[in-house]
Every structure is written in structure tokens, then in C-alpha cells.
Amino acid sequence: MDCSCNLGGSVDCDDYGGFVAVETRKARKEWRCCECHEQIPAGAVYSYCSGMHDGTFFKDRTCLRCKSIADQLFSDRYIGYLMDDLKSAIGDRQEIPPSCIAKLIPSARDLVCDLIQASWGEDN
């Protein structure tokens, strides 16, 4: 059974005359993830995304943890807002099926579960 998660976003590059290309790369130098803003160290594998949106060219680098979350939990979204969208979805009590969480890589699963658990503490 496929994961049917879609926690947010309704962005379609075609709506803005855009395009996007995504490839997996190995960092030759340190970069910063465009989603969580943590360091992507030299030698680490990351996702490189480039394209055009609303007439503007862009290029972004995403760590594998954030890419896993984006791929499994969000269909279409604006790049750079993943953590905000995830925290908002959890805060709004949107259900994240266990089958979707199970498909995340371990570091992504840990982050999502930590955020869910932290939101439970906010209820008290």
C-alpha cells in the first residue's frame, strides 16, 4: 500500500511557467540545507534542485533528512518552508499515518516523532 500523505502545499510549477530538475549529488564542500538550515558536510550526499519559478531561476540544496520528509509527507510545496509546514501540520493536529512515518529515513523519522512528542507537551 502506498503512502497517501499530503500534509500541505498546493504549488505547481506549471502554474507559473516554471520547471524543475532534481539530482542527487555528493558535496565537494560544505553547504547549508535550504530547509532546516543545518550544515551539509563535504562528502555527504544531498539533493540538488534547480529550475525556474515565476520567471526567476533558483538552485537549492537539501539534506537527505529533509528530502525524506518532503518526499513522504508533502506533495507540492514551496522550497525553504518545509520545517514551518511540518510544525504547522503537527500543531494543527493533521494526522500523519504510521505507514508514512515508517517510510522516512531514520533521522527524518526521529525528527518527526520528536516534533509530535513535543506538541503533546504543549497541550499540558
Environment class of residue 52 by beta-carbon count within 10 Å: exposed (0-12), middle (13-18) or buried (19+)?
Answer: middle
* Dihedral, CA of residue 47, residue 51, residue 52 and residue 53, to nearest 10: -30
d(CA 35, CA 66): 7
Q: Domain 13-122 falls in which CATH fold?
A: first zn-finger domain of poly(adp-ribose) polymerase-1 (3.30.1740)
Report the 10 Å Cβ neighbour count for 35: 25
Break the chain into its structural domains and give their ranges: 13-122
Report the 10 Å Cβ neighbour count for 60: 18
pLDDT tens digit string along 87-107?
Answer: 998 988 888 889 999 999 999
Q: Which residues contact 35 (CB under 8 A, 6 or more apart)?
A: 62, 63, 66, 70, 79, 80, 81, 82, 83
pLDDT tens digit string along 14-47?
Answer: 444 578 888 999 999 999 999 999 999 999 999 9
**Model pTM score:** 0.81
